[in-house]
């Protein structure tokens, strides 16, 4: 389908993709054929067929093997093929909007557009037209819709704001704007992505105001989801943007969902012109990218518009698209705002008149419009889903079930949102159950994809290994498994539900040289039954009797509720499966051999007092047959060097020092902790020779044992903290063996 890429303005009254496993683009239903959209373009531009027309096109794969969307660039090959053909025809301005759903933008005359429309891979085409944002003090809107009485506040979720940008430095957000991107086909983005990318320009206060309503918080004022993270996507300059920029922005929302638990996306914008909007609504232009987000479980809340249109089809594009939640404005909860667009497509009302919220520069002001009502809904949904991952349709049904109705100027009844009422209905309809998860990293709160919010996936804090002799150590102290004797694998289970949950933990490990994306290459280590109490925790312990040969391995802990299959499934590969499944967590380990004659070469990382990594690596020394220890500190870490050490980088860069290894004890004088109440933390290195070992059945090597000991940390209050002891074995092999060391770092 082809449609015009028109300009979109802010919907202000006063003051103014993601991967879809198993979903094929051609399966999107209800979108009219390309010919209908082409007829709209021909009618609008028949008088000047040679003039350039901005259009948006959605391509579908013509090769069956790439029809399923499940990769960020699933349709990139199709886009590249199209761009090459377009360039041969003299069209060189093809711009990718979202490679996941196949949307691109370009400019061509009517003759060329007719030719493009005939291609078999063109599934959607429309003109890239103008879109405007929808907008004097209500500071109690969160209370009016029943949000302040809830015990949850959006923690662990993300709400995205597709708008004119967000002032990330505003104190109302307290550092919670963690993702930024910008898409302006007219130019003017500070940068494509990263901190500052969504910074607004003068007159662009709309997005910051909307974001504050959705997720702001200070000591006297709160938004709808005051602890949610914010993803800011700028698609306007100060007053308007285009359909192509909005589609590109929604594609980026899909990418955010690869790293965060994105629960809702807010679009306080739309096409103001009713005729153009009707064409877009009829053809469902841009519907594929919305359906992609909904298939990921993301609520897409869109403003209905501020055109005083109370007719049957008053709701403007994109609020008219299937799958979005169309939001109108109410005056408090007692009357429908006169300016709000109504109609059969309107889903819900929320306060939108005179809402007080943040504006760039640290200030606050009142604004009015469906733009202000929409983030109340988007933020409210994020708050509900921080309690439980209820489906979007279930939440919308619960909101619509509120008996409080208001009669509109069209004589129809509309529902004002009440989130406390919706919460009560959802809880009543949800059986009391356990909700057990295993953390992927420290920031994980047990939601799909939340592991991406604060770290990696390969060192779960809820999985740790200890030698049986060291079980008395405090929980969560992980040590390298020791070959030749039993070890224990511990898994910490957390239950966020109101009912106990019974099941078992199954632990798997990789083969020595694994293809870790294939379940067949994971070997079962053992299993242990457990019952996790309501809102409580439990620890499952599995004895690991038969360890494989020393080397680098991956462990997976899999929580299996009673009655469920314990067959390991890794849809999308190991990284995608671990991120998406709260019951699955991953921890890499290095198996070492402490017995006389053992040999092992490895890389080790431990945490500095600042909470950052200190990296240790064993390298060939300057003299033949010797070795050195390379230590890398985080930037700014202070230490006291020994005269025998070689410093190769400065403190500002992140110091790197080279320590010649020998028998006895070597000290790093101390590492400066972040807490000024703590003293320098000594790190001790003990090198001991352990004998000889015939390596690979041929060469003879001298074996040494390296012990790293992070010893007592003394606090100002007189207490001490004792760090963990980690063992690392290495051998005195020629330099060529370092290749074996690097190959081992496969996961």
Residue range 168-221, pLDDT digits in tens: 999 999 889 999 999 998 888 899 999 999 999 888 889 999 999 999 999 889
For all residues of the chain together, what is the average pLDDT? 75
- pLDDT of 24 higher than 80: no
pLDDT at 734: 32
Between the alpha carbon of residue 623 and those of residues 432, 619, 628, 636, the distances in Å are 67, 12, 10, 31
Q: Is pLDDT larger for residue 7 or for residue 498?
A: 498
Percent of the chain beyond pLDDT 90? 27
**Residue 489 — φ and ψ, nearest 5°?**
-105, 120
Cα separation, 262 vs 265, whole angstroms: 8
Name the pLDDT band for 258 (thresholds 50, 70, 90).
confident
Mean pLDDT (whole number) for 260-266: 92
Q: Which two tokens stand for residue 576?
A: 């995608």
Q: If you average pLDDT over each of 125-134, 316-325, 608-617, 698-707, which comes out highest? A: 316-325
Q: Is pLDDT larger for residue 519 or for residue 679?
A: 519
Give the CB-side neighbour count of residue 675, counting CA atoms within 13 A. 12
- pLDDT of 107 higher than 90: no
pLDDT at 67: 36
Pick the range with the lowest mean pLDDT from 48-57, 291-300, 349-358, 673-682.
673-682
Q: Is pLDDT larger for residue 722 or for residue 590?
A: 590
- pLDDT of 239 higher than 70: no
pLDDT at 392: 94
- pLDDT of 673 higher than 50: no
**Residue 389 — φ and ψ, nearest 5°?**
-80, 60
Residue 459: partners with Cβ closer than 8 Å, 6 or more residues away: 441, 586, 587, 588
610-655 per-position pLDDT tens digit: 445 566 665 556 655 455 667 776 666 665 566 666 777 666 666 6
Pick the range with the lowest mean pLDDT from 127-131, 134-138, 621-625.
134-138
Q: In what order do the strands lie in the sheet with 656-660?
A: 603-607, 613-620, 627-632, 656-660, 646-649
pLDDT at 493: 93
- pLDDT of 131 higher than 50: yes
- pLDDT of 355 higher than 80: yes
- pLDDT of 499 higher than 60: yes
Helix axes 243-256, 287-295, angle to 10 degrees: 10
Name the pLDDT band for 267 (thresholds 50, 70, 90).
very high
pLDDT at 419: 94
Cα separation, 174 vs 153, whole angstroms: 15
Percent of the chain beyond pLDDT 70? 68
Pick the range with the lowest mean pLDDT from 463-467, 558-562, 716-720.
716-720
Strands (E), 420-521: 436-437, 463-467, 487-495, 501-510
Of the candidates 170, 206, 552, 587, the residue annotated as catalytic is: 206
Q: Is pLDDT larger for residue 132 or for residue 136?
A: 132
Mean pLDDT (whole number) for 241-262: 88
Pick the range with the lowest mean pLDDT from 112-126, 438-452, 493-507.
438-452
- pLDDT of 148 higher than 90: no
| Contact (CB, 8 A) for 740 and 701 | no
- pLDDT of 23 higher than 70: no
Of the candidates 121, 128, 138, 163, the residue annotated as catalytic is: 163
Of the candidates 227, 371, 460, 710, the residue annotated as catalytic is: 371
Q: Is pLDDT larger for residue 50 or for residue 682?
A: 50
Cα separation, 583 vs 243, whole angstroms: 39
366-400 per-position pLDDT tens digit: 888 999 999 999 999 999 988 878 899 999 999 99
Q: Is pLDDT larger for residue 193 or for residue 15?
A: 193
Residue 740: partners with Cβ closer than 8 Å, 6 or more residues away: 601
Instruction: Give the DSSP H/E element, type plus range, for residue 213.
Output: helix 206-215
Cβ neighbour number for residue 91 with a 10 Å cutoff: 20
Name the pLDDT band for 80 (thresholds 50, 70, 90).
confident
Is cis: bond before 533, omega within 30 of 0? no
Q: 163 an active-site residue?
A: yes
Q: 206 an active-site residue?
A: yes
From first CA to last CA, the distance across the chain in angstroms is 43
| Contact (CB, 8 A) for 461 and 476 | yes
Helix axes 419-429, 370-385, angle to 10 degrees: 30
Q: Which residue reads 């040969």 in tokens?
A: 549
Q: Is pLDDT larger for residue 481 or for residue 524?
A: 524
448-479 per-position pLDDT tens digit: 444 343 457 888 889 988 876 555 455 566 77
Cβ neighbour number for residue 703 with a 10 Å cutoff: 23
pLDDT at 376: 96
pLDDT at 9: 46
725-744 per-position pLDDT tens digit: 333 434 333 332 222 222 22
Mean pLDDT (whole number) for 128-144: 65
């Amino acid at each position: 389908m082809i449609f015009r890429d028109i300009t979109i303005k802010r919907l202000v009254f006063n003051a103014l993709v993601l991967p879809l496993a198993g979903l094929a683009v051609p399966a999107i239903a209800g979108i009219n054929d390309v010919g209908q959209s082409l007829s709209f373009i021909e009618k609008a531009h028949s008088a000047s067929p040679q003039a350039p027309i901005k259009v948006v096109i959605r391509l579908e794969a013509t090769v069956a093997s790439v029809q399923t969307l499940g990769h960020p660039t699933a349709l990139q090959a199709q886009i590249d093929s199209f761009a090459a053909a377009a360039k041969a025809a003299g069209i060189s301005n093809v711009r990718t909007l979202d490679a996941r759903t196949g949307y691109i933008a370009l400019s061509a005359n009517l003759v060329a557009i007719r030719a493009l429309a005939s291609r078999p891979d063109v599934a959607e085409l429309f003109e890239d037209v103008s879109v405007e944002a929808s907008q004097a003090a209500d500071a109690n809107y969160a209370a009016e819709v029943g949000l302040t009485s809830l015990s949850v506040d959006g923690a662990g979720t993300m709400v995205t704001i597709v708008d004119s940008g967000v002032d990330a430095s505003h104190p109302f957000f307290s550092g919670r704007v963690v993702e930024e991107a910008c898409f302006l086909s007219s130019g003017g983005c500070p940068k494509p992505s990263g901190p500052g990318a969504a910074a607004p320009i003068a007159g662009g206060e709309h997005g910051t105001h909307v974001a504050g309503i959705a997720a702001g918080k200070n000591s006297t004022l709160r938004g709808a989801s005051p602890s949610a993270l914010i993803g800011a996507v700028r698609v306007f300059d100060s007053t308007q943007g285009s359909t192509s920029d909005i589609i590109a922005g929604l594609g980026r929302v899909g990418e955010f969902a690869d790293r965060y638990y994105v629960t809702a996306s807010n679009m306080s914008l739309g096409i103001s012109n009713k005729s153009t909007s009707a064409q877009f609504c009829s053809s469902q232009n841009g519907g594929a990218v919305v359906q992609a987000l909904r298939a990921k479980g993301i609520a897409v809340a869109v403003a209905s518009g501020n055109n005083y249109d109370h007719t049957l089809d008053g709701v403007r594009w994109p609020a008219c698209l299937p799958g979005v939640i169309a939001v109108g404005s109410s005056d408090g909860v007692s009357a429908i705002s006169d300016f709000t667009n109504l109609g059969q497509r309107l889903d819900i009302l929320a306060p939108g008149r005179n809402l007080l919220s943040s504006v760039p520069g640290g200030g606050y002001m009142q604004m009015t419009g469906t733009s202000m009502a929409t983030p109340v809904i988007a933020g409210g949904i994020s708050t509900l889903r921080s309690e439980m991952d209820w489906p979007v349709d279930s939440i919308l049904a619960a909101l619509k079930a509120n008996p409080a109705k208001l009669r509109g100027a069209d004589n129809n009844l509309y529902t004002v949102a009440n989130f406390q009422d919706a919460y009560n209905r959802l809880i009543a309809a949800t059986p009391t159950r356990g909700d057990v998860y295993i953390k992927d990293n420290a920031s994980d709160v047990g939601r799909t994809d939340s592991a991406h919010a604060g770290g990696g996936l390969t060192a779960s804090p809820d999985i740790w290994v200890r030698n049986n002799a060291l079980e008395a150590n405090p929980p969560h102290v992980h040590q390298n498994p020791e070959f030749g004797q039993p070890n224990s694998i511990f898994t910490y289970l957390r239950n966020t539900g109101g009912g106990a949950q019974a099941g078992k933990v199954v632990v798997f490990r990789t083969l020595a040289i694994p293809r870790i994306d294939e379940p067949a290459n994971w070997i079962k280590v053992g299993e242990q039954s457990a019952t996790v109490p309501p809102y409580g925790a439990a620890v499952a312990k599995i004895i690991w009797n038969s360890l494989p040969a020393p080397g680098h391995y991956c462990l997976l802990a899999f929580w299996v509720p009673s009655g469920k299959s314990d067959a390991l499934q890794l849809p999308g590969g190991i990284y995608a499966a671990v991120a998406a499944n709260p019951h699955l967590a991953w921890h890499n380990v290095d198996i070492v051999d402490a017995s006389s004659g053992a040999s092992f070469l490895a890389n080790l990382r431990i945490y500095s007092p600042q909470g950052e990594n200190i990296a240790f690596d064993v390298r060939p020394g300057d003299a033949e047959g010797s070795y050195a220890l390379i230590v890398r500190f985080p930037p700014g870490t202070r230490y006291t060097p020994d005269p025998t050490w070689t410093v190769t980088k400065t403190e500002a860069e992140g110091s790197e020092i080279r320590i010649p290894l020998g028998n006895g004890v070597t000290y790093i004088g101390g590492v400066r902790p972040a807490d000024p109440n703590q003293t320098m933390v000594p790190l001790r290195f003990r090198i001991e020779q352990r004998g000889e070992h015939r390596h690979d059945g041929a060469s003879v090597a001298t074996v040494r044992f390296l012990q790293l000991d992070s010893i007592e940390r003394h606090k100002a209050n007189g207490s001490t903290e004792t760090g963990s002891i980690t063992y690392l074995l290495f051998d005195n092999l020629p330099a060529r063996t370092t290749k074996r060391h690097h190959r081992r770092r496969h996961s």
